[in-house]
Structure 1
Amino acid sequence: MKRTTAAALVPLLGSCLLAGGCMTAGPDFTAPPAPSASAGYADDGGSRAVLNEGPEGQWWKVFGSAELDALVDRALVGNHSLAASRATLARARERIAAVAGKRLPQVDAQGRGEYQQVNLAAFGFDGFGGQSISNPEFDLYTVGGGVSYDLDLFGKNRRALEQAAAQAEAQQRATSAAHLVIAGRVVSQVLAIAALNDRIATERKLLSEDERNLSLTQARKNAGAGTLVEVLSAQGQLAGDKASLPALEQQLAEGRAMLAVLLGISPAELGSTDFVLDDFILPASVPVALPSALVHKRPDILESESRLHAAVAGVGVATAELYPDITIGASITQSTSEPGKIANSKFNAFDIFAGMTAPIFHGGTLKANKRGAEAEARAAAAEYQQVVTEAFGQVSSLLSALDSDSRELEARHETATIADRSLHLSRRSFQVGNSGILQVLDASRSYQRARLALLETRIRQYQNVARLYVATAGGWDVSEVTEPAS
């Protein structure tokens, strides 16, 4: 009878195995379509932008500064936020292995030692001949093991593995995006520090011009041709311009502190940051990814796509929970009251089983879970479209800025040249007595404004080029980052 029962399980298990490979509940993920051929950016960036597949991974090298390259490399290794992101990625990858393990047979061993009393009356043994029988007490030792396997009839485990893989992919893209952003922030911070160094140098040069104006007025007064009012006006401009230096120096200290944070070090460990804008090459052309390439390259778009994939797989998991689940398995045990006989085949027992669990009534929980998963997938699809839309808008804006920066810089150069010539002529006119000091001071202020505006335009142009590289560059290869030795 026992053999017949066991043999009857074989065709049942075979049909279950065949059925388990036939169906996976829920929708299959399809990647969102690429932008249409007519899709494009609102501006082409003028002659500086070149539309193609986009920049290389280590885009910051185009600025031609070994010192900048070293700082970016240092930040990619030492930044603490990036270290946390890489650890989160490692956890997500381990979760794939954990979920994949559930699709394999589960093998467990067990051992148990106990002291027990058997209640014979519970089995109908009340005694013999009117005499009660005492319940026996004894030791019992059991060792054994078992194997079980979830047939995954409707693909719940397969969808869970797909979801875990998509979530890990999303985290990898997020980590790549984080590396790209940190590299961009380091470049922007270095350029900002260079601009501050240039501005401080410009302010000091302008102070020298103010001191020259003061010397001219004092010389005229001493010669009897000038007045005290002219001297005081020149002194007032010098004092006012001196007041701007402490604020700039404070901004420089703050910039150095921020750069140190990005590198994962203290400001005292940063070292010299005496670079100026002329230390960096402004690339003659910037490779910009086409819209069709951007959606397959930009890490935040790819991250959003992976999160959409994970949400769609989650619908499959929730759908599979509505259907039966079949598990097959077997176990073998050895039980005896004498430890020395535990390996004797006389005390062997085994079990072969096939079990099914089918949901009947859960108060609507399972269907609500499915509807919730479907809503989450719709939300993920809308978020993906939003990320793509924002990416196109950002690139279009930066391309427009690239074109306007070039035109503005040309105009600023011309303005600064005219202001310099006007100041020179005003001084000569003042020296020979043809004009007053107010004309010289006005020309000096115009020159100062022109020089500072030119500097601001230059830094904005550098910063916008760097932002455009970040906006269209591919993600950083996380495998290339070497963790610092502990």
Structure 2
Amino acid sequence: MKSCALVLNRHLLQTKIAALSLLVLLTACTVGPDYQAPAASASQHYDPQAEQRLAQGAEPRIDLGKKVRGDWWAAFGSQKLDHVVRRAIDGNLDLLAADATIRQAASSVAAAQGALYPQVDFAAVAGRQRLHNAKEPAIANFYAIGPRVGFDLDVFGGNKRLVEQQQAFADLQKHRYEAAYLTLTGNVASQALLLASANAQIQAVEKLLANDARNLELVRMAHLNGITTQIDVSLAETRLAQDRTLLPPLAQQRDAARHALSILTGKGPADWIAPDFALSEFVLPSNMPVSLPSEMAHDRPDVLQAEAQLHMASAAVGVATANLYPHVTLSASLAQAASGNGGAALWGFAAGLAGPIFDGGTLKAEQQAAVDGYKATLAGYQQTVITSFGQVADTLQAINHDAEEHLAQTDALRAAETSLQLNQQAFAQGENSILQVLEAERAYQQALLGQIRVKTAQYLDTVQLFIALGGNSVGAFEQRVASGDGQKPSYQ
């Protein structure tokens, strides 16, 4: 008899151990694909022709294989620009919104992680009832009060995949912050340069107009003396009128850039006025670091956004796959209950198993939709990477052509300056008229305007190159938090 009981106990023990082992094994099972980051591009060049010319030619030159370090706008050497950029980073409303969105996503991750733990709640019920099945019908009070515990074992990892999906979404929001940060700093630098360019061109046009006015006065005097005709007077008047049309667009460019800087810093144009900038305050970087295409995925926020979306799509496949399998839940309760004059402590423990049998193909279709969504997101990621390569290549060629145009414009300015000096010398020696000197001055001012525009294009394209390379913006949110600049919700 004892031996039979011993055998039975051993059998029950083995059964429990086997069941527990199976439960542990099933709990460790997480269905669906484990996310793998896409392989880095094997490409080592953006545009070999532009790279070769910029690596060997005159300034600016590029240093292929080097990454942007620190604050990229510091390469322009303007303390005033640095001050405005930092003011914009602190006050820009888009960045504040992105900051709050990141914190919202972090809360969503915490909420999703809660499903991985037992859920404990408290229940209480009280009432009054009439009993009909007793010997004599009676009315009695009743109540029950106590805690309840529920736990989804997440056997096939559906909840884990949901947490993974939310974490990828939180990463996506961080990269969106980085993209907003990159766009903001690029816009501030561009608007500051446009403001400086407008100021320089306005000064050149004002000198040109003064020259036109002197020329017209001399032509009118010559006409009164019978030296020139009315046609010459009309031509001088036309030239002055045409050159006057150059000022309003430049003034509009100046004012629009100043207003844009105010808005970028989170202020209205009347609440904060941006300082004036001059082109002489900026220096063109002589050597610009250009990271390799194979490293682009780690440098550009938009590529990292696309990768985070790919991770979310991968996790969605896991969630849809887990829904095809049963859910195992455990629950327990402990309550103090009473009815009438009697009361007792009640407890319960239960295990539940629920799984799909027939759903008309809904769950399988949802899984296939998730798989197809992943494929579409992967193609979008690859397109984002290729597009980023094209943007860098276009900007490198633009900088290359800017250098060629700057060289040609410098030659034109030098020639105009030489012509002006020769005409001034000839006028001093009585060999030509003042009109010829004024024409030479006008040609010099026009060449100067051309050089200002070319120099502005060089600066702006250099800004675009920094932006196309990511501008060292990855990790900007972590830096903001580390520096204590993270904004707290207004209700705290």
Aligned equivalent of 1:275, options 274, 277, 289: 277
Cα distance in 2 for partners of 1:184, 1:404 equals 21
Larger mean CA deviation between 473-482 and 46-55 belongs to: 473-482
Aligned equivalent of 1:146, options 141, 145, 148: 148
The match for 1:185 is: 187
Query: Residue type matched to 2:117 in 1?
Result: L
Q: Does 1:380 align with 2:380?
A: no
Q: Given the superposition, is the C-alpha separation of residues 362 and 39 from structure 1 closer, same or farther in structure 2, using an over 3 Å criterion? A: farther
The match for 2:354 is: 357
The match for 2:106 is: 93
Q: Given the superposition, is the C-alpha separation of residues 322 and 402 from structure 1 closer, same or farther in structure 2, using an over 3 Å criterion? A: same
Give the alignment's Cα RMSD to 1 decimal: 2.8
> Contact 1:49 / 1:399 at 8 angstroms: preserved in 2?
no
The match for 1:292 is: 294
SS at match of 1:322: coil
Aligned equivalent of 2:403, options 395, 402, 406: 406
Structure 1: which 5+ runs fail to align? Answer: 128-132
Q: Does 1:471 align with 2:468?
A: yes
Q: Does 1:114 align with 2:127?
A: yes
Q: Given the superposition, is the C-alpha separation of residues 104 and 328 from structure 1 closer, same or farther in structure 2, using an over 3 Å criterion? A: same
| Per-residue deviation, 1:86 | 1.2
1:144-202 superposed Cα distances (whole Å, 9 cap, x missing partner)? 11112111111111111111111111111111111111111111111111111111111
Cα distance in 2 for partners of 1:324, 1:483 equals 43
| Per-residue deviation, 1:399 | 1.1
Residue pairs, 1:415-454, within 5 angstroms: 415-423=412-420, 425=422, 446-454=443-451
Aligned equivalent of 1:54, options 48, 62, 67: 67
The match for 1:307 is: 309
| Per-residue deviation, 1:226 | 3.9
Cα distance in 2 for partners of 1:13, 1:373 equals 33
Aligned equivalent of 1:79, options 56, 70, 92: 92
Aligned equivalent of 1:203, options 182, 191, 205: 205
Q: Given the superposition, is the C-alpha separation of residues 291 and 225 from structure 1 closer, same or farther in structure 2, using an over 3 Å criterion? A: same
| Per-residue deviation, 1:261 | 1.3
| Per-residue deviation, 1:425 | 4.7
Aligned equivalent of 1:29, options 27, 35, 41: 35
Cα distance in 2 for partners of 1:258, 1:37 equals 38
1:108-147 superposed Cα distances (whole Å, 9 cap, x missing partner)? 1111222223443xxxx6x6xxxxx42x322212111111
The match for 1:263 is: 265
> Contact 1:78 / 1:484 at 8 angstroms: preserved in 2?
no
SS at match of 1:360: coil
Cα distance in 2 for partners of 1:479, 1:119 equals 68
The match for 1:20 is: 26
Cα distance in 2 for partners of 1:462, 1:107 equals 62
| Per-residue deviation, 1:467 | 0.8
Cα distance in 2 for partners of 1:39, 1:229 equals 59
Q: Given the superposition, is the C-alpha separation of residues 192 and 374 from structure 1 closer, same or farther in structure 2, using an over 3 Å criterion? A: same
Cα distance in 2 for partners of 1:444, 1:338 equals 111
Query: Residue type matched to 1:205 in 2?
Result: K
Query: Residue type matched to 2:371 in 1?
Result: E
SS at match of 1:287: strand
Q: Give the TM-score normalised by structure 1.
A: 0.88
The match for 1:70 is: 83
The match for 1:330 is: 332
| Per-residue deviation, 1:223 | 5.5
> Contact 1:319 / 1:370 at 8 angstroms: preserved in 2?
yes
Cα distance in 1 for partners of 2:132, 2:360 equals 40
Query: Residue type matched to 2:338 in 1?
Result: T
Cα distance in 1 for partners of 2:387, 2:168 equals 23
> Contact 2:262 / 2:273 at 8 angstroms: preserved in 1?
no
| Per-residue deviation, 1:66 | 1.4
Cα distance in 2 for partners of 1:338, 1:260 equals 74
| Per-residue deviation, 1:465 | 0.6
Q: Given the superposition, is the C-alpha separation of residues 457 and 327 from structure 1 closer, same or farther in structure 2, using an over 3 Å criterion? A: same
> Contact 2:105 / 2:170 at 8 angstroms: preserved in 1?
yes
Cα distance in 1 for partners of 2:17, 2:120 equals 23
| Per-residue deviation, 1:26 | 0.7
SS at match of 2:298: coil
How many residues align structurally? Answer: 465
Query: Residue type matched to 2:352 in 1?
Result: G
Cα distance in 2 for partners of 1:385, 1:97 equals 31
Cα distance in 2 for partners of 1:103, 1:386 equals 36
Q: Given the superposition, is the C-alpha separation of residues 8 and 354 from structure 1 closer, same or farther in structure 2, using an over 3 Å criterion? A: farther
Cα distance in 1 for partners of 2:88, 2:69 equals 19
Q: Given the superposition, is the C-alpha separation of residues 46 and 39 from structure 1 closer, same or farther in structure 2, using an over 3 Å criterion? A: closer
Query: Residue type matched to 2:205 in 1?
Result: E
> Contact 1:77 / 1:484 at 8 angstroms: preserved in 2?
no
The match for 2:58 is: none
1:252-303 superposed Cα distances (whole Å, 9 cap, x missing partner)? 2222112111111011232353211111111111111111221122111111
Structure 2: which 5+ runs fail to align? Answer: 1-8, 56-60
Cα distance in 2 for partners of 1:183, 1:176 equals 11
Q: Given the superposition, is the C-alpha separation of residues 383 and 337 from structure 1 closer, same or farther in structure 2, using an over 3 Å criterion? A: same
Q: Given the superposition, is the C-alpha separation of residues 303 and 90 from structure 1 closer, same or farther in structure 2, using an over 3 Å criterion? A: same
Larger mean CA deviation between 417-426 and 100-109 belongs to: 417-426
1:210-238 superposed Cα distances (whole Å, 9 cap, x missing partner)? 12323433454465544444344323322
Larger mean CA deviation between 410-419 and 99-108 belongs to: 410-419
Q: Given the superposition, is the C-alpha separation of residues 376 and 480 from structure 1 closer, same or farther in structure 2, using an over 3 Å criterion? A: same
Larger mean CA deviation between 427-436 and 62-71 belongs to: 427-436
| Per-residue deviation, 1:104 | 0.7
The match for 2:3 is: none
Query: Residue type matched to 1:282 in 2?
Result: L
1:7-27 superposed Cα distances (whole Å, 9 cap, x missing partner)? 999668724531333311111
1:360-400 superposed Cα distances (whole Å, 9 cap, x missing partner)? 11222111110111111011100110110011011111111
> Contact 1:176 / 1:299 at 8 angstroms: preserved in 2?
yes
> Contact 1:187 / 1:466 at 8 angstroms: preserved in 2?
yes
SS at match of 1:362: coil
Structure with the bigger RCO (C-alpha within 8 Å, sep 6+) is 1
Cα distance in 1 for partners of 2:216, 2:419 equals 18
Cα distance in 2 for partners of 1:154, 1:286 equals 51
